[in-house]
Amino acid sequence: MSEPTIDPDETYRDYPHTSDAGAVSRRSGAGWMAPVALVLSLLAAGAAGFSLFKPAPVAAPPGVFAANPAADDPKAAACRAAGLVADGVSLQSRLTLGPDPVALETVAANTRLAMVGGAAYLRDNTPSNTPAELAEPIALMATQLQDAAQHFFVGQTSSVPEQADRLTAAAATSAQVAGLCK
């Protein structure tokens, strides 16, 4: 029995990589990419060189501009942060979107978000030189808000006695901070 002979040119003629005409046409179409890539890399190198050798910005003399207004009055900055957080939590928790379960869950989610975000905001925006008699209740308020929010996340509602106690304590601390900020 004789073996069939296979002509390699016949077998692979449909593959574009074996055709010289196809390779030439692809090269001629892509011939513009190398010069463009070279120009872009030269522009990037020029920009990097410029940023490396440009003069450093001149700092303002001390006392001319207050870069951080909280440094001028840390109590006022801390009180602004605490008031903003208290207003945000109060606003989000008192929204009324109707009796629909989705609306109720939306209000609850916004309340949790206001509590968690407010706790982080208090920690980030209470200046380190805030007087201790104000800084300590603000730090406690942040912890209480975060704690209550975490318990909301696991399904506890304000009807759970422990959660109601957390909310009452947070409200009392918030009132204490408001009194210190008068």
Sequence spans of domains, the chain:
12-53, 69-180
Three-state secondary structure call for residue 101: helix
What was the pLDDT predicted at 103? 87
Find the distance separating the first CA and the last CA of the chain, reported in whole Å.
108
- Torsion angles phi and psi, residue 143, rounded to 5: -65, -40
**pLDDT tens-place string over residues 136-157:** 999 999 999 999 999 999 989 8
Q: Which two tokens stand for residue 89?
A: 């939590």
pLDDT lower than 50: segments of the chain? 18-19, 22-25, 63-67
On whether the CB atoms of residues 118 and 85 are closer than 8 A, the answer is: yes
How many whole angstroms separate alpha carbon 86 and alpha carbon 128? 20
For residue 99, give the DSSP letter.
S
